[in-house]
Amino acid sequence: MLEDIKQIDTNILLWLNGCHNKFWDELMWFASGKYTWLPFYVTLIVLLIWKYKKDAILMILLIALLITMSDQLASSIFKPIFERLRPSQNPELEGQLHIVNNYRGGKFGFISSHAANVFALAFYLVMLTKHSLKWLPFILIPWAIFVSLSRVYLGVHYPTDILVPAILSMPIAWIVAHLYKIYNPKFIKLFNHDVSKNN
């Protein structure tokens, strides 16, 4: 059973990675870039501030906790425990992968930090804004899928490397969203007290 899953995993990887051309290489390289999405993040922050005013302060601050949790889950727990070689680092796939810009990533790839982070952020914001920004999931979820699939296309992750963190990011997002709902009233009260005190 496990071998069958591994084979399916590899087959999907090779199919997606094999659909390469110059356009897709540039697009997927762009999607996977370290600083590509900074304008997108700034836009999200501005949107939250515009929509939620003071309630956005803790919402935004907790994103740091959210990303720390998801990133550490991937980098400090899963990768050292499972030590699963990235496709680009796997000798068995040598010569079968299309490598873009000679990028191969680190040694281990299970699970993807990119996928963990983008899905955690997407689910977190969807949970908190689902009643007032009903259109936001139609942007955030496809964005998270797009970024994650770019990692498979580039040959640095298997499909399960992005599927597992996508699932695990849901409880992480729920925990941080729950913390927001509990502590935001107290935070706003403290914030208002400090502002009035300074005035």
Provide the pLDDT for residue 199.
52
Strand segments (E) across 106-182: none
3-state secondary structure 29-50: HHHCCCCCCHHHHHHHHHHHHH
- What one-character DSSP code corresponds to residue 110? S
pLDDT tens by residue, 147-176: 999 999 999 999 999 999 999 999 999 999
What are 195's two structure tokens? 């502002």
pTM: 0.92
Give the C-alpha separation, 11 to 99, whole Å: 17
Give the C-alpha separation, 2 to 130, whole Å: 37
pLDDT tens by residue, 21-42: 999 999 999 999 989 999 999 9
Provide the pLDDT for residue 181.
94
Beta bridge partners, 108, equal 85
Domains of the chain, by residue range, sit at 2-198
> Is the Cα torsion angle 185, 186, 190, 193 positive or negative in sign?
positive
Give the C-alpha separation, 114 to 39, whole Å: 17
Q: 1 pLDDT exceeds 80?
A: no
